[in-house]
């Protein structure tokens, strides 16, 4: 897996001084997530139902801002049993295969994230639109909780 993940990332071997440790560590997975999303959009045809939800990958990182390994942050959500990295995802409603991922990075980034042409949408709705974008106009039914309203 490590060999494959090296192929799908554009992280420099040394962190540039101008780059934050947090940004540098997210580079470990950002390209992998983009490749995963592109691959699943082309290679997998979901059923007529899709589910959108948040998941937690139980991971706590490997230390503070001075360490260049591990995820830079984790979240603690009251309604989730474990803390970890939050991933917003779309999945096939029939088989449960995850089709598209969006990593939740920092609260500041989440509050300022705007997707193209979504200025008038609430944040959750803009995320929902991003997650199901490859299958828009396909007449699929999307089930989501109130976060995405």
Give tens-digit pLDDT for 76-116: 777 777 777 889 999 999 999 999 999 888 766 666 655 55
Q: pTM value?
A: 0.78
Task: Provide the pLDDT for residue 91.
Answer: 97
Across 5-32, average pLDDT: 75
Task: Provide the pLDDT for residue 27.
Answer: 80
Sheet with 98-103: strands ordered across: 98-103, 85-92, 49-57, 141-144
Across 57-61, average pLDDT: 69
pLDDT digits (tens, 9 = 90+) for 108-149: 666 665 555 566 888 888 899 999 999 999 999 999 999 888
Q: State yes or no: pLDDT of 56 exceeds 60.
A: yes
Task: Provide the pLDDT for residue 113.
Answer: 58
| Band (17; pLDDT cuts 50, 70, 90) | confident
Question: Exposed/middle/buried for 144, CB within 10 Å: 0-12, 13-18, 19+?
Answer: buried
Q: Which residue has the higher pLDDT, 35 or 82?
A: 35
Contact call for residues 88 and 101 (beta carbons, < 8 A):
yes
Where do we find the tokens 């995405």?
Answer: 148
- Of the listed ranges 4-18, 23-37, 73-87, the least confidently predicted one is 4-18
């Amino acid at each position: 897996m490590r060999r494959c993940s090296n192929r799908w990332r554009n992280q420099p071997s040394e962190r540039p001084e101008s780059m934050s440790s947090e940004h540098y560590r997210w580079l470990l997975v950002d390209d992998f997530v983009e490749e995963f999303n592109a691959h699943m959009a082309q290679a997998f045809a979901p059923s007529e139902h899709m589910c959108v939800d948040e998941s937690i990958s139980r991971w706590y990182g490997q230390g503070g801002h001075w360490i260049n390994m591990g995820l830079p942050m984790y979240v603690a959500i009251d309604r989730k049993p474990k803390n970890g990295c939050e991933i917003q995802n779309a999945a096939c409603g029939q088989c449960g295969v995850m089709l598209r991922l969006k990593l939740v990075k920092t609260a500041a980034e989440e509050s300022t994230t705007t997707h193209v042409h979504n200025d008038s949408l609430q944040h959750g709705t803009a995320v929902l639109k991003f997650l199901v974008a490859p299958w828009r106009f396909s007449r699929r039914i999307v089930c989501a909780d109130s976060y995405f309203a």
